[in-house]
Amino acid sequence: MNEACENQQPVPEKDNPVSRRDFVKVAGALAGAAVLTQFISIKTLASNVSPSEASTEGPQWGMLIDINLCIGCKYCTYACQAINNLGDDMLYNVVTTETLQNGKEYFLSRPCMHCEEAPCVHVCPVKATYHRPDGIVIMDYDRCIGCRYCQVACPYDARVFNWKEPIKTSPKSPNFGLQEVPNRPRGVVEKCTFCSHRIDSGMKRGLVPGVDNLATPACVVLCPTGARVFGDLTNPESPISKALSATKVALRLREEELSTEPRVFYVPPDTHSNNPFQGS
């Protein structure tokens, strides 16, 4: 059983809502492999920006998921299915129920982490998986040869292989949205793109990702509790920057173990709160 790694900057136990004993047992969340997590002091987030990121012109997109606000409704999953025209066997975003050591349950929502040091990018033999200038890990489906090296290399189990011909209509459409992305061919690996098509089209129209719904990932827009926040990590006025600044502590999955530098942050479960969704 693995537990969370220690904070980079220690927080007194009485001020830290998550004790080292209680925090995040997420065995099974990654296909049976226990997840190691790393606390990151929000006050030092700026110093955690890599030199490559800091020197990149333009926005750098990221997502924050507040575990305390997630109710396990799976609207994020369903919205993703609808706009990407995915069947129930092709999920880019999964939500699992996990248990703390004190017995309280919480929901862990897991999209692609869009890692700065992405193993999937490093192992692709044809460069079908690559980084966009804005940090999004994207795929060129025309180049993909279906070797599945990226799927095996991903430590977050965030990729799925398309074994079948594309379905006509997702079972989650139209209730959770309409198809916005062209069908991918059989024999390629697929994954979450942070709804890059929405970001690109929205910015061309002067919309702000994370603020304007039409330019924001569908999973963020459809979340009924506001558990997901999206925006530009380099802009202190963006929704994600403000949310990170207002949070005592955030974490990234398996960061200390893998040094993958994920762009998805989590607010850990508050074991001392009266949150009804934590089994209290």
- pLDDT single digits (tens) 72-91: 999 999 999 999 999 999 99
List all residues 6 or more positions away from 118 whose beta carbon is below 8 Å from its beta carbon. Answer: 129, 131, 137, 260
- What is the pTM (predicted TM-score) of this model? 0.78
Identity of the amino acid at 83: I
Number of domains in the chain: 1
What range defines the domain where residue 160 resides? 37-278
Residue 21 resides in a domain? no
DSSP-based three-state secondary structure for 40: strand
- Give the whole-angstrom CA distance, residue 280 versus residue 118: 37
Residue 235 within a domain: yes
User: Is 225 contained in some domain?
Assistant: yes
| Mean residue pLDDT across the chain | 81
Q: What percent of the chain has pLDDT over 70?
A: 76
Residue 16 lies in a domain: no
Query: 25 pLDDT exceeds 90?
Result: no
Q: How confident is the model at residue 56 (pLDDT cuts 50, 70, 90)?
A: low
Backbone angles phi, psi at 214, to 5 degrees: -70, -10
Residue 268 placed within a domain: yes
Within-domain flag for 8: no
Q: Which helix (H) or strand (E) holds 139?
A: strand 137-139
Output the domain CATH number for residue 45. 3.30.70.20
Query: How big is the CA angle at 89 (ends 86 and 93), to the nearest 5 degrees?
Result: 65
Determine, yes or no, domain membership for 70. yes
Whether residue 31 is contained in a domain is answered as: no
Q: At residue 3, does pLDDT exceed 90?
A: no
Whether the per-residue pLDDT at 150 is higher than 70: the answer is: yes
pLDDT at residue 17 tops 60:
no
